[in-house]
């Protein structure tokens, strides 16, 4: 009989240091500084205003991740880092480090949340201070924008003149989608405190003049007006089941007949609850943030959509990995 070894345990533990090196590199903007070209640790440290010896330790670690290269005493960005981690690049996602840090810190409290029977890193958007709320929304912008752009590529929005982003946080998903449709007008519907922070963050998007902001609580009131489409990104997963059903019903109420609702995020599970992996792991994270938030199954979403008066719910995967369910209001 072969001797059993802790290979899986060792592999999982070995994955943590490279991920933390990536986070430190994003926080220090190492990759943006390396966009100027190959640098020695001394030159790069002078650019960043940090200690050279300490920075060099991180650079050697990043070289092992293949995000930077090392040759003749100089470090440089890999093609992947140059594309996605340099501030100002069209495909930049490095700004998400604030959200990444918050999620990882919350995940360290999973055992505590289970022992308590309550979130150990509670998120209450209505009660968060302005600085914390703004940092959280800002951290989500790269991922939200990418989702909006992916939706625009994967679905036909050519006939949509009015779209509402329900619980859309910063509104970046809405802005990412609207980039591709010059005739489209959008509305961000959010809690008052979130809407206030989003109004500032949206100023960075070229389509800001076509986005209105409305305030309210989608779990207690239907949307006003008649829109061609409604987007619920990463909203259902933060709600209790009864509130998720209300949010979907109230969003559908704001659609014209024949309009489409798009529910997207990582928190959509297949009915086996084992796939996709992102939704399974997010289900753990959500218990640390929200009293009743969780990853819901496709069948649960479909039941809520049908009860709200929708037909033809179909689930697919967006480029980038997020799941999306689209349904049509009868």
The answer to whether 227 touches 259, Cβ cutoff 8 Å, is yes
pLDDT score for 139: 84
Three-class secondary structure of residue 51 per DSSP: coil
The pLDDT of residue 299: 97
**What CATH number matches the domain at 7-88, 3.60.15.10, 1.10.10.10, 3.90.1660.10, 1.20.1250.20?**
1.10.10.10
Residues of the chain with pLDDT under 70: none
The Cα 313–Cα 328 span in angstroms is: 7
The encoded tokens of residue 79 equal 């093609």
**Distance from chain centroid for Cα 140:** 5
Residue-level pLDDT at 308? 98
Burial code (b: 16+ CB inside 10 Å, e: under 16) for 287-304 equals: bbbbeebbbbbbebbbeb
Q: What is the pLDDT of residue 136?
A: 85
CB-based contact 267:233 (threshold 8 Å): no
DSSP 43: H
pLDDT of residue 142: 87
- pLDDT on residue 283: 97
How far apart (Å, rounded) are the C-alpha atoms in residues 253 and 223?
Answer: 6
254/242 Cα distance (integer angstroms): 19
Supply the pLDDT for residue 250: 98
Kindly report whether the global pTM for this prediction surpasses the value 0.85. Answer: yes
215, 195 contact by CB (below 8 A): yes
3.40.50.300, 3.30.1360.70, 3.40.50.720, 3.40.50.150: CATH of 97-329: 3.40.50.150
Q: pLDDT tens, 30-77? A: 999 999 999 999 999 999 999 999 999 999 999 999 999 999 999 999
The domain ranges of the chain are: 7-88, 97-329
Euclidean distance between CA atoms 76 and 38, whole angstroms: 4
d(CA 137, CA 131) in angstroms, rounded, equals 10
Report CA-CA distances (Å) from 255 to 108, 181, 277. 41, 19, 32
């Amino acid at each position: 009989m072969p001797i059993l070894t802790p290979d899986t345990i060792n592999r999982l533990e070995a994955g943590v240091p490279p991920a933390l090196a990536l986070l430190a590199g994003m926080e220090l903007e190492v990759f943006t500084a390396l966009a100027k070209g190959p640098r020695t640790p001394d030159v790069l440290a002078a650019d960043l205003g940090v200690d050279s010896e300490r920075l060099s330790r991180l650079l050697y670690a990043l070289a092992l991740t293949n995000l930077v290269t090392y040759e003749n005493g100089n470090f440089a960005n890999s093609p992947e880092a140059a594309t996605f981690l340099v501030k100002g690049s069209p495909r930049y996602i490095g700004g998400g480090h604030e959200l990444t840090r918050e999620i990882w810190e919350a995940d360290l409290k999973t055992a505590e949340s289970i022992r308590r029977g309550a979130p150990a890193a509670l998120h209450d958007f209505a009660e968060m201070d302005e600085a914390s709320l703004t940092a959280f929304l800002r951290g989500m912008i790269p991922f939200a924008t990418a989702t909006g752009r992916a939706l625009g590529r994967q679905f036909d929005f050519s006939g949509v003149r009015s779209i509402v982003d329900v619980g859309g946080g910063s509104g970046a998903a809405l802005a990412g989608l609207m980039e591709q449709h010059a005739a489209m007008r959008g509305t961000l519907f959010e809690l008052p405190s979130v809407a206030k922070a989003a109004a500032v963050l949206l100023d960075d998007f070229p389509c800001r003049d076509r986005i209105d902001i409305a305030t309210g609580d989608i779990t207690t009131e239907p949307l006003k007006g008649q829109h061609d489409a409604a987007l619920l990104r990463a909203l259902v997963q933060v709600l209790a089941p009864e509130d998720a059903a209300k949010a979907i019903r109230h969003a559908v109420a704001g659609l014209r007949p024949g309009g489409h609702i798009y529910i997207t995020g990582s928190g959509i599970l297949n009915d086996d609850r084992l796939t996709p992996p992102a939704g399974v792991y997010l289900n753990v994270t959500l218990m640390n943030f929200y009293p009743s938030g969780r990853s819901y199954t496709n069948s649960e979403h479909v039941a809520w959509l049908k009860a709200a008066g929708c037909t033809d719910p179909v689930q697919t995967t967006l480029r980038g990995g997020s799941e999306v369910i689209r349904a049509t209001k009868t």
